[in-house]
Amino acid sequence: MLTKRQFLIAGSTLATLSCAPAQKKSLHADVIILGAGLAGLNAARLLASEGAKVLVLEGSNRIGGRMYTLDDVPGRPEAGGQQVGSTYARILSTADDLGLNIVPPAPGGSRDKTLAINGDLLNASDWAASPHNTFPDALKRFTPDSALFVAASQKNPLEDEYAWRELAAQSDLSAKSFLEQSGFDEQSLKQIDIALNANSLDTYSMLNVWRSLVIFSQSFQGGSSNEIEGGAQRLPEAMAKSLDDGTIKTNTMVQGIDVDLNGVDVHTNQGTIRGSFVISTLPFPVMKKVKINAPLHEATREGINSLPYTQIQQVHLTVENEFWKNDGLPTTMWTDTPIERVFPVRNANGETVSLTCWINGTGTKPNVSDQEWKDLAEKTMLDLRGAKTTASKVIRWDKNQPLSGGAYMHWSPNQAAKIAENMATPAGRLHFAGEHTSHLHTGMEGAMESGDRAAFEVMDLMSS
Ligand SMILES: Cc1cc2nc3c(=O)[nH]c(=O)nc-3n(C[C@H](O)[C@H](O)[C@H](O)COP(=O)(O)OP(=O)(O)OC[C@H]3O[C@@H](n4cnc5c(N)ncnc54)[C@H](O)[C@@H]3O)c2cc1C
């Protein structure tokens, strides 16, 4: 790694060269970083600590991107990233550096679950004998939201977190084909599709599932998942605060990127800003709408155009009666109704104070208004459980959300072998980071990993 002094010298040399009269363009920063989520903030902190002049452009008025704590909803539910695995080394050490505690989830959690299926309510423990269950005999006791993982874990071809890229060509079939080969009928597939962490079984590669299983199993060896005390968003907020004043420009929407031999112009709603290098952490559905003039690798271009993002919508409901005491069933639910799954949000005393209805993939309705969603969620909970609730918020991680386009990337079948290796290849002075470009981890730690990589790519160039 460069010393601070070497890096400063390299940076200022570049800046001087780029400001030479022949170019008539002055630099606003050594490195412009697009996006103030975990990836962008991690890259910014690393580069700033080495003396680079960094500018972070953020389209929203909020810091954190997909780390989003709903501070105004009872129990402070997380709308985005929440669970911190034991292998999240960068998240854990950054939190520690910034004085944030990592704590266990609120007390009172349970794996028990209610299933609402074809108008019947049953405890998940009765699922194996239910007439609605047509799963293969060996897997009958697993609920529709766990069956894919259980079946996949029995046949995981990946040995470690590196193997998904190496085996991408041989082991890349759709979740639908895998489940059919494992003996699931059409009715079972529909049930499993409801809780799928993607858009549909046939457009979801099994590589995603096997990769997650490897990561989960490593993480479980170190203990169960924890959370950031006070809310997940406190981490990006603290990272932002650790940067010099003026480093982050919020409400600055990136609209175009022009790369030339000496620098990069970033066109925004606040004007054009020039840097020696740019690191873009923008999710690819967002990049698709940005006008890019750069020598993009074919794999990057294809990723920008076609990388799928899991569509998620959430309806947050405040609980007004202890409805679970009336029917004696668990509060957590898997349903075949439009609200799909329901998770209780507990306060520090373990009391359920709000609910999150979690809708994935084909169940999302990007064009349905917030009010329609709220009415539907309240009515469904009343009809199913006699639950009196007030819907307070709808969160959309869907294709119409201009700052993300979805919750997180996943691979479609046969895509990873084609583009994973080169999707984050720098295009001249334009570098790429963000959870979608990570190699070893996914989620929050993947975002941090990608920020490290991109920052080091730029440091290398600045020092050469
Ligand atoms: C519902 C949900 C649950 C999750 N649960 C977990 C979990 O439990 N554990 C886990 O590890 N991970 C989880 N994740 C994933 C994790 O939150 C993300 O992987 C991570 O936060 C992504 O960070 P990032 O920096 O790559 O992207 P982002 O956080 O999306 O950062 C990109 C930034 O770019 C900004 N931006 C977008 N467009 C523009 C533009 N045109 N101009 C300027 N700025 C722009 C955005 O506002 C955003 O701040 C979850 C995510 C979601 C949505």
Question: Is residue 451 within 6 Å of ligand 1 at its C-beta?
Answer: no
| Alpha carbon nearest to ligand 1 atom 10, residue | 443
Residue 444 β-bridge partners: none
Q: Quick check: 333 and 113 in contact, CB under 8 A?
A: yes
What is the whole-number distance in angstroms between the Cα of residue 372 and the centre of ligand 1? 26
Ligand 1 pocket mutation, candidates 197, 444, 449, criterion most atoms within 8 A of CB: 444
**pLDDT of res. 170:** 78
Question: Is residue 34 within 6 Å of ligand 1 at its C-beta?
Answer: yes
Per-residue model confidence as pLDDT tens digits over 389-405: 999 999 999 999 999 99
Question: Is residue 444 within 6 Å of ligand 1 at its C-beta?
Answer: yes
> 419: closest CA among 305, 308, 298, 309?
298
Spatial distance between the Cα atoms of 80 and 65, rounded to a whole number of angstroms: 8
List CB contacts of 352: < 8 A, sequence separation 6 or more: 75, 108, 319, 322, 324, 331, 344, 345, 346
437's enclosing H/E stretch is none
Question: Is residue 67 within 6 Å of ligand 1 at its C-beta?
Answer: yes
What is the whole-number distance in angstroms between the Cα of residue 280 and the centre of ligand 1? 13
Strands (E), 83-208: 102-103, 114-117, 120-123
| Alpha carbon nearest to ligand 1 atom 19, residue | 443
What is the whole-number distance in angstroms between the Cα of residue 331 and the centre of ligand 1? 28
What is the whole-number distance in angstroms between the Cα of residue 445 and the centre of ligand 1? 11
> 291: closest CA among 463, 430, 385?
430
Question: Is residue 312 within 6 Å of ligand 1 at its C-beta?
Answer: yes
Q: Quick check: 179 and 192 in contact, CB under 8 A?
A: yes
Would you say how long the chain is, in residues? 464
Spatial distance between the Cα atoms of 416 and 183, rounded to a whole number of angstroms: 26
Spatial distance between the Cα atoms of 12 and 32, rounded to a whole number of angstroms: 15
Question: Is residue 43 within 6 Å of ligand 1 at its C-beta?
Answer: no
**pLDDT of res. 406:** 98
For residue 349, the SS3 value is coil
**pLDDT of res. 336:** 98
What is the whole-number distance in angstroms between the Cα of residue 291 and the centre of ligand 1? 21
**pLDDT of res. 168:** 72
Spatial distance between the Cα atoms of 173 and 206, rounded to a whole number of angstroms: 6
Using 50 as the pLDDT threshold, list the residues of the chain that sit under it.
1-22
CA dihedral (262, 256, 243, 442) positive or negative? negative
Spatial distance between the Cα atoms of 358 and 380, rounded to a whole number of angstroms: 13
List CB contacts of 201: < 8 A, sequence separation 6 or more: 174, 175, 176, 179, 189, 192, 193
